Structure 1
């Protein structure tokens, strides 16, 4: 995996608050969404999504909204079966979580942007996937782009001036021109 991709994933862990959680014992890969009780929670069984065996979702706000977001990238149970099958994931361990996150990023056409060091554009492409990203629009806390760029750079990511204008958010999916993208 390229250093920019690794740094982008590390930035997502910082943004979601999983890799910096005081409860984590595994860089955020073991974190479960915090409920209204405010108590951080982790899991140790990586064989499947922590909510896959009937565990009830957690109430996360005073309006009764529930969530089962889990892992470093706060994946929802509703998506687990699809990505487990698509990516042939053997478990919910760190390598599987990284592959799943990269697939989501790939589906938004942001991998070439990350590889090219176009950090701001890459974040814009994936902002609706993670509620903590700036402009996500879920009504939850959103980190600033400056904070996330600093986390990305601290993790070894590099910023480059693009040789050619990369695709914008409004451009139809032309990611094939930016690399070998896997499309479903």
Structure 2
């Protein structure tokens, strides 16, 4: 499945930032993915699983841990179904395809005011602004594993992102 291009996203830095989020969320490197993380359900007690259709968000409730935490997170950016419903309408998206998932993630980043910082290469500040969206990013209080900024920055640079001088 094709994903958003740098021209559609507004630049290579934005695509690199999206790649970094996929790496941070663990979807890109998930062993069961066949589509670069766009086809992954939140990892639950039964291990990682894929969903089969991009027609719509799969809306599958997964039990994440023995404490009973449940989630509908799906796709490369682990979007919850309840947020998908709102963004699908807001952005007039036809499906849950990779391009649609990318557009939702970019909208979430835009809402946090991080796009100008990504464009300028102010990576650490952009990550901080987005930390309340993705629990794997450092700087939030979700109590889940957070990745180190240095590791995320390396993933961003490896994906073609440029840093401010």
Question: Normalization by structure 1: what TM-score?
Answer: 0.83
Q: Give structure 1 stretches of 5+ with no counterpart.
A: 162-184
Distance 1:160 1:58 in 2: 40
Q: Give structure 2 stretches of 5+ with no counterpart.
A: 1-5
Aligned length: 156
Superposition map of 1:42-61 within 5 A: 42-51=50-59, 55=60, 57-61=61-65
User: How far apart are residue 137 of structure 1 and its match?
Assistant: 1.6
Q: Does 1:31 align with 2:35?
A: no
Superposition map of 1:39-118 within 5 A: 39-51=47-59, 55=60, 57-118=61-122
RMSD between aligned alpha carbons? 0.8
Hey, what does 1:12 align to over in structure 2? 21
Distance 2:58 2:85 in 1: 13
More helix by share: 2
Query: Which of the two has higher C-alpha Rg?
Result: 1
Question: Normalization by structure 2: what TM-score?
Answer: 0.92
Once superposed, which parts of structure 1, at least 4 consecutive aligned residues long, lie more than 3 Å away? none
Distance 2:52 2:162 in 1: 33
